[in-house]
Structure 1
Amino acid sequence: MSLFQLNDEGVLHIHGHLDRDTLAKNWWGMLSSTEQSTLIAKGQCVLDLSDVERIDSAGLAWLINAVRDGKRSQVEVTLANVPDKLLKLAKISDVDTLLPVN
Structure 2
Amino acid sequence: MSLYTFEDNDTVKITGQLDRDTLSRNWWVMLSSSERSQLQKAGRCQFDLQQVERADSAGLAWIINAVRDARAHDIDISLHAVPKKVLKLAKISDVDTLLPVK
Q: Could you tell me the TM-score, scaled by structure 1's length?
A: 0.97
Q: 1:51 aligned to 2:51?
A: yes
Corresponding letter in the other structure for 1:5: T
Aligned to 2:75: 75
Corresponding letter in the other structure for 2:15: H
Aligned to 2:14: 14
Count residues with an aligned counterpart: 102
Consecutive unaligned residues of structure 2, counting only runs of 5 or more, are: none
CA RMSD of aligned residues (A): 0.7
Once the two structures are TM-superposed, the CA of residue 8 in structure 1 deviates from its matched residue by: 2.2
Query: Once the two structures are aligned, what percentage of the paired residues are identical?
Result: 60
Q: Deviations over 1:28-68 (max 9, x none)?
A: 11111110000000001011100000000000001111110
Write the distance in 2 (CA, Å) between the matches of 1:8 and 1:53.
Answer: 22
Q: Secondary structure at the match of 2:94?
A: coil
Write the distance in 2 (CA, Å) between the matches of 1:8 and 1:85.
Answer: 27
Q: Secondary structure at the match of 1:38?
A: helix
Q: Could you tell me the TM-score, scaled by structure 2's length?
A: 0.97
Consecutive unaligned residues of structure 1, counting only runs of 5 or more, are: none
Q: Secondary structure at the match of 1:37?
A: helix
